[in-house]
Amino acid sequence: MKKPAADQQIASKSNVYRTLYDVRGFCSKQELAKKCGISMPTLYQNLNDLMEQGLVCYSGEERSTGGRKAQGLGTVSDARVSVGLSMTEKSVRMVAADLRLQELAYQTVPFDTCTKLRGDPSEIGEILERFLNEFDISRKKLLGVGITIPGIISPDHTRLLLAPTLGLENIPLNKLIHSIPYPTYIDNDGTSSGHAEGFVRRSFRNMAYLSLENGVGGAVLTEGRLYEGNSGRSGEFGHICVEPGGLRCSCGRNGCLEAYCSPLRIEKTFGVDLETFFQGVENHNPEYEALLSDILRHLAIGVNNMHTVLDSDVVLGGFFSEYLQPYLPLLRQYVMAGNPLSSDAGFLQLSAVPHHITALGAALYFIRDFIFSV
């Protein structure tokens, strides 16, 4: 059945916008029309509509084609804004991002997540409004607010089923949702981070994303798409057993990857934050060096288990990974020593998003929704 003319026009405009959004570098009208498979008159009509909406503009670049210089086109990255909130045990980390997932503003605010989610989390709405005001974020441009929680979220995203690091189970999220007067979406922190990683990499390679935050989790992406599993719980890598009968984990079992590689282990052992800990490692504090070595060795076990099962790239993200660049060669040595299937640990990489990936991943939900709905 042939689409109505209005539907064809919308589909054509959406195709033009998404195609231009995906272009890297210079793109002329002629090149864009060819990529979209449409005529120049149709392209001009769509471009006029998109420019009137403030979504597309001339990039200011010109490139000679042997005659008259062609003017480049580009999407307007700050035409819309999305906000991401990453909830941890003791704080809320907020980021505002443009349509390219570029960070526009960031702020961390103390927040007793455990207590508030059990009772009244409405303070979140007040914190959000102060953030928007302080950084002059336009409500007219705001697409929505994504929220991540370190726990398992129900399929309809309205209930926190289990969050071991928060000590919470079966918590309704309707009060949290209703405290925010904008479109709101709640998801697991590792899943959101994995989406952000795939979005920034723009790669269709299979990837296991390991989120190293106070709660250790992750996501599995196959050809750029999230693999959710039968119950929507795939990517819970933090509860791979890396030391049978080992350290106690927040989930109640012993020997989980999270128990060995969460930043909380450092805090509980020495009472210091990550910056102080890694400064101590650089200064050759023997106790700090010994703990880091143990963390990396157990991390290598987890990475090898993931790689052996999934045969994919393994990407380390989260705020702990921000400190691991100097130790990546050593970690790869540990990985190679324990990997029976590969003598090359090049599959192990650090995140392409060096900071605030969890909050950015939360913001990404509304950005992607907008891109595919233009």
Whose tokens are 């090149």? That residue is 31
CATH architecture of residue range(s) 204-350: 2-Layer Sandwich (3.30)
Integer angstrom CA distances of residue 132 from 96, 97, 100, 183: 9, 12, 19, 15
Mean pLDDT per 10-residue section of the chain, whose length is 374 residues: 53 91 90 94 94 91 65 94 96 97 97 94 96 98 97 92 92 96 96 94 89 93 87 88 96 96 96 97 98 98 95 94 96 92 88 94 96 91
For residue 257 the two structure tokens come to 């990857």
- Is 73 within 8 Å of 19 (Cβ atoms)? no
pLDDT of residue 68: 66
The answer to whether the beta carbons of residues 268 and 303 sit under 8 Å apart is no
- Domains 79-193+357-371 and 204-350 in one fold: yes
Query: Helix H segments across the chain?
Result: 5-22, 29-36, 40-52, 113-118, 123-134, 174-178, 189-201, 257-261, 263-270, 274-282, 286-310, 328-338, 357-371
Locate the domains of the chain by residue range: 1-41, 79-193+357-371, 204-350
Task: Give the predicted TM-score (pTM) of the model.
Answer: 0.89
pLDDT at 191: 92
User: Which residue do the tokens 């914190």 mark?
Assistant: 127
CATH, domain range 79-193+357-371: 3.30.420.40
